[in-house]
Amino acid sequence: MMHVTETAKDMEVGLKGRDLLTLLDYTSEELTYLLNKADAMKKDMKKGIMPQVLAGKTLGMIFEKHSTRTRISFEVGMIQLGGHAMFMNARDMQIGRGESVSDTGKVLSEYLDGVMIRANSHEMVKELAEHTSVPVINGLTDIFHPCQALADLLTVMEVKGSMKGLKLAYIGDGNNVAHSLVIAAAHMGMHVAVGTPAGFEYNPNLLLKAQVIAASNGGSVMETTNPVEAVTGADVVYTDVWTSMGQEEESAARLIAFKDFQINDQLIANAKKDYMFLHCLPAHREEEVATSVIDGPNSYVFQQAGNRLHAQKAVLAALL
C-alpha cells in the first residue's frame, strides 16, 4: 500500500504544470492514474465531497468551435474544485484580429492558471502551448480530442471493470475522436478494430504509433474497411458523426460513402451480447446510429457524456 501511495504522489508531481495536447505525450501509467483519479472524484462527489483544490485559480477557455459538453464540463468542474472558468470566444479576442498566437500565449500566462482551447488547428494549439507558461489543455482540434477519450475509458472502466483484453470496435470516420480513442485504448491494452470506409481511414502514422503502444501493453490495433469484421466479437462499439464541424459541404458524399457503416440492429448483432455502445455526441439519429441502438439497453452514451465532468476534473486537479 505504501508503494502505491508513493507512486501516486510521484505521478501527481510529474503531471503538475504539464500540457494535455495529445495522449501520445502521456504514459500508460499516467493515463491510468488520471482515470483512477476521475473515478475517485466521481465517487466523492456523490457523497457530497468536493475538495476545493483549485481555490483561487482561473481557467481561461478559448472557443473557435461550438460546444456543449466541453464548455459545461470544464466550467462546472472548475467551480466544483473551487476555481473559476472564463469563457472566451476567439472571435472576440485580439487573436481573432491578427495578434500572433505567441503574443497571445505570453499575455494569457500573466492572467491565468491554465488554458483550455477548442480549436480548428492542432498546429495552432501546439504553438500556443509553446508560448504559454501555464498548462494548455486540448478541448478538441482537427486531429485530437484527448479529454473525450478519457471520459470514454472511464465509462468502459465503470461498466466492464478491467479494460485489458477487451475488444473495442470504432466504426465510422477516422477523425479526431477516433485518433484519441484508439490511442487511449491502446494504452489500456485493449484490442482495437477500426472500421472505416475507403478514403476515410485512420491516420496511418498515428495508427503505427497506436499499434506500438498497444503491443507494449498486451493489446492490438487493426484497421479494416469491413464494418462486420470490425464489430464481430466486440465488447465495446463506438461511433461518431459522419460529417464533423467544418465538413458540411461534404455531407452528401459522406452519406453515400458511409451508408454501410450505420450502427443498427443488424450490424450490432455481430458484437457480444453484453456489448456496450458509446458515442461522443451530438448524435445524428438514423444516420450513423439507429435510434433502437442509441436508446437501447446496451447504450451508455449519457453516462459517457456525464463522465466528461469527472475526467475534466481529474485533468484540472492534476495539471493545475
Known binding residues for carbamoyl phosphate are: 67-70, 94, 118, 145-148, 280-281, 308
Name the active-site residue from 113, 142, 145, 304. Answer: 145
148 is catalytic: yes
How many Cα atoms occupy the beta-carbon half-sphere of 86 within 13 Å? 13
Containing 179, the helix (H) or strand (E) segment is: helix 176-187
Give, as one character, the DSSP assignment of residue 285.
B
Which of 262, 280, 304, 312 is catalytic? The answer is 280
Active-site residue, selected from the candidate residues 80, 113, 142, 148: 148
Distances in Å between the alpha carbon of 162 and those of 5, 33, 39, 143, 246?
Answer: 21, 14, 13, 28, 37
Catalytic residue among 19, 80, 118, 262: 118
Residue 220 CA, distance from chain mean position: 20
| Residues in contact with 196: Cβ distance below 8 Å, sequence separation at least 6, in sequence order | 171, 172, 173, 174, 178, 202, 223, 225, 261
Q: Which residues are annotated as a binding site?
A: 67-70, 94, 118, 145-148, 176, 240, 244-245, 280-281, 308
84 flagged as catalytic: no
Q: Which helix (H) or strand (E) holds 221?
A: strand 220-224
Name the active-site residue from 191, 308, 310, 312. Answer: 308
* 118 part of the active site: yes
Give yes or no: 179 in active site.
Answer: no
Cis peptide before 197, with omega less than 30 degrees from 0?
no
Sequence-separated (6 or more) residues with CB below 8 Å from residue 73: 308, 309, 311, 312
Binding residues for L-ornithine, by number, are 176, 240, 244-245
Question: Per the residue annotation, which of 113, 142, 235, 240 is the catalytic one?
Answer: 240
| Contact residues for 10 (Cβ-Cβ < 8 A; gap 6+) | none
Kindly list the catalytic residues.
118, 145, 148, 240, 280, 308
